[in-house]
Structures are given as C-alpha cells and as structure tokens.
Amino acid sequence: MRPPRVALGLILAATLAHVIGHAQAPAAGPTFDVVSVKPSPPQTGGLVFRINAVTQRPDGGVTIAQAIVQLLIASAYPGTDLNDMVGLPAWASDDRYDISATASLSSPTNDDRVAMMRAMLADRFRLLAHTEHREVSSFDLVLARDDGKLGPNLTPSDVDCEALAAARRAAAEEARRNGTPPPPPTRFDPNAPPPCAMFGTPTGFRGDMSIDALASMLRGQAGRVVVNKTGLRGTYRVSLTFSRALGRGPDVAPLPDDGPSVFTAVREQLGLKLDPSRTERDVLVIDRLERPTEN
C-alpha cells in the first residue's frame, strides 16, 4: 500500500532538514564590509601573474589577484588539503577572480580572517560544505631496506625545525600584541638556503624537514595521501629529483627525457618506499558552490 502523501512529505522534509543541518554554515563572527569579485582579465603578452597573489591589509581587508576558488576554500577551512575536497566543480580550480574586500578591525587575528573569508564564500559563492570521516586510498611511507639504511639524499640534521618554527610564531604573536610589524622573513637564497627552508626546484625539491613534512610534500606527486610509517623522528636534510609527471602512479613510466618517477626516486635516493594502502581521514564535502555574480 502506498504511504499517505502527508507522511511521505514529512519523510522528505525530515531528510532535507538532516542534509541541510549536516552542512556547515559559516559560524557567527566578523565579516568583510564591502567585497568586490570580478573575473580576472585574460593574461596576454606571455606574462603570467602569480596565482592567488594575496595582499593582507592591517585592518583585516584583503586583495587577491588571480584567485582560485579551491584555494580560497582551503584558506577558509584551515587544515584542509586541496586533495581532501569532495564534490568540487571543475570551474573552482580553473576560473580566476580578482577580489578586493574591505574591513574595519583594529587588530584582526588569524581566526578573524578565516571567519571573514568563510562568510565571503558563503555570501558571494553560495558555499555550503561539511566535513565527513572517510576511508581513502593512500600510500604508506616506509623504510625500503630491512636493515634501516637510508639513501644518500636523506641525512639526519642537527637543526630543530619544530623549535625554530615555534620561536618564529612566538615572535610574530608578540609583535601582534605590541602593535609592531612582525619580523621580516629571511631573504631567500637558493644557493645558501636558511635553516629549515623547504623549496621546490625545476626537477624536485630539497631542504630541511621532518619525515611528516616530507610525506606531506610527496602527496602532490604521488596523487594520494601519504602516511609516514617510517618511525623516523627529528629533522632530515632531503634532496629529491624526479619526473615532473604528477600523480601518474607507481606503474606509469616517467615522461621521455625526464627524471625517474617519484616512486623510484624515493626508493633509490632516500632509501624509503611508497606502499599502496588505505587510511581514514576527514574530507570536506562541497554541498553547494556557485559562480559569483560580478560587481
């Protein structure tokens, strides 16, 4: 027997209410005063501007040139990796926008800036999203040799990068409390990089890092989450050279006239390996996202 229409309507209403309630609307907090969002003009003359070139103003306002919506969402949901977004439309990583937003906060915190960005995305891009815990394909980063010997391009460093990063954060927070400019970043010289600098090269990356940081950097190349299961602690000096073919998988040959695949490079240069696995992690599910109307 068919259920009464009233009962069926109540079931549908309850289901819809559950879905809407599950999605995360922006929490109450500060918002931008005025926001301008316009499609970025096409690049001409061979000159390519930096993507997501962000200028943060002291009052909490922000100017972003060539903004990619996927990167804006990542900044509004700290801790969310770009690969941890589900249901993102293709245009959100292809389209470019120029954004200018004003605010009137005397001393905006990072939390204030996150709240304003999230509110702007909800208002102008109609963003609605929620977090789910899911099992996803991954790679385990493990030792390649039974004797634990590391490769020639992975050597222990006596620099405590975590302590250095904590000291830098403390100095920046102290400057914020005192209303003074934060300490300027160290001028970067690729031929003599400062301690704990990690940077990309045309054929890979190198620098001082923890193995957790190495696993995070490998994710973009491997095409999956990389989980550190080496048991190695502390800071290491890493130099890795590999093919520029991103996310091609361990069984796909590198591009012609290019370096080894990242899987081969990790094994031969670092003495580690990437084993296919499964892991559980939080993903950001995009329930709704719309192109903005220009203003």
Give 181-220 pLDDT, tens digit per residue.
776 766 656 666 667 777 777 788 888 888 998 998 898 8
Any idea which of 61-75, 126-140, 218-232, 241-255 has the lowest mean pLDDT? Answer: 241-255
Pairing of strands 128-143, 272-288: antiparallel
How high is the pLDDT of residue 15?
37
Cα 154-250-237 angle, rounded to 5 deg = 10
Identity (one letter) of the amino acid at 290?
A: E
The pLDDT score that the predictor gives to residue 211 is 93
Q: Which of 5-14, 106-115, 134-143 has the highest mean pLDDT?
A: 134-143
* 13: pLDDT strictly greater than 90: no
Single pTM value for the model = 0.61
Residue-by-residue DSSP string for 38-105: EEPPPP-TT--PPTTEEEE-TTS-EEEEEE-HHHHHHHHSTT--GGGEES--THHHH--EEEEEE---
